[in-house]
């Protein structure tokens, strides 16, 4: 998903446009997560970019995407750019935490 969302459209309330854009992002990620995983993959990972324009977009973590959209709207931005790419990934096994010797 590569899209520029507008927050200022004549006759539409900016809060509703923001909610619609967040809904589109969540809907895209939910649809991607429902897709069949290829052999050897455990989950869908997302590579995200966010910026006020496509040129200004920088990599961000998927968990911060909605908060960045809210911050852009509160900052008075006329719109923002979101790029989300879903990719199949394999979870890495976490190392067992070592316990210090008792005593």
Residue 84 CA to its chain's centroid (Å): 6
| Residue 99 in domain | no
pLDDT of residue 92: 83
Whether 102 is in a domain gets the answer no
Q: How high is the pLDDT of residue 93?
A: 79
- In sequence order, what DSSP letters do the residues of 47-93 get, joined into one string? EEEEESSTTT-EEE-GGGHHHHHHHHHHTT-SEEEEEEEEEEE-PPP
Structural domains of the chain, count = 1
Q: Could you list the pLDDT tens digit for every one of the 103 residues in the chain? A: 999 999 999 999 999 999 999 999 999 999 999 999 999 899 999 999 999 999 999 999 999 999 999 999 999 999 999 999 999 998 887 777 776 776 5
pTM of the model: 0.83
| Residue 15: predicted pLDDT | 95
Distances (CA, A) of 97 to 92, 93, 103: 15, 12, 18
Cα–Cα distance measured from residue 86 to residue 55, given in angstroms and rounded to the nearest whole number: 21
Residues of the domain holding 58: 2-89
């Amino acid at each position: 998903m590569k899209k520029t969302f507008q927050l200022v459209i004549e006759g539409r309330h900016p809060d509703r446009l923001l909610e619609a854009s967040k809904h589109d992002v969540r809907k895209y990620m939910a649809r991607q997560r429902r897709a069949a995983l290829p052999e050897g993959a455990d989950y869908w990972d997302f590579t995200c970019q966010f910026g006020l324009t496509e040129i200004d977009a920088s990599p961000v973590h998927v968990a911060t995407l909605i908060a960045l959209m809210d911050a852009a709207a509160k900052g008075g931005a006329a719109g923002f750019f979101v790029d989300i790419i879903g990719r199949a990934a394999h979870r890495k096994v976490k190392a067992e935490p070592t316990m210090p010797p008792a005593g």
